[in-house]
Amino acid sequence: MDKNKIIEQTAEFARKNLANESTGHDWWHTYRVWKMSLRIANEEKDADLFVVQLATLLHDIADWKFNKGDEFVGSKLAREWLEKLQLDENIISHVCEIIKEVSFMGEAEKSKIKTKEGMIVQDADRLDALGAIGIARAFAFGGHRGNPIYDPSIKPVKNKTAEQYKQMDEPSINHFYEKLLLLKDLMNTKTGKKIAEGRHKTMEKFLEDFFKEWEVEG
């Protein structure tokens, strides 16, 4: 089994499937998560880099948010692809399990990720929802959904269940309080936690400036 060739083929498969995606879940999101997962894995040690890379490349191949809330559509498509490559069932099952459990599904829902590889992929994915890029992605996604930027009369909802989180029809600013600002404390790895600290501060500063400008103070 030529692992490098399989990674190249999977990257190309992901790139083609995510072409023209405009919600912030595009190929370049996947590319950044791929590179970040390798950075985390190299610092944390003892992870299966083959599994990590396959899972990151395929983690958003069919996101439930754009497939009528189907939480299994991504892992199904990933399995079809990996079976075509005739990979060992243990590898396929591990990758698909990571894809199925990687997403944030509301503050009330606890992560079911159990393996080191899964924790690395989840941290890398969540880090791309933080910082300057995370801010840009939040508004790209909100615009795609037709959500307003901010409405002072609509307050963020804490401890959302998975079903409540799936609705996501509130203003984009609320998303910071219902997900993005929570991610720093949900990181699995030491490396992820360290990187998240700086990106979290970037978002806090953005929100401070946003509300100053909203009240015409800045």
Q: What pTM value is reported for the model?
A: 0.89
Cβ neighbors of 76 (< 8 A, separation 6 or more) are: 62
**Fold assignment, 3-214:** Hypothetical protein af1432 (1.10.3210)
pLDDT band per the 50, 70, 90 thresholds, residue 72: confident
Residue 169: predicted pLDDT: 73
What tens digit of pLDDT does each residue of 75-114 get? 889 999 999 999 999 999 999 999 998 887 555 557 778 8
Host H or E run for residue 58: helix 49-58
User: How do the domains of the chain map onto residue ranges?
Assistant: 3-214
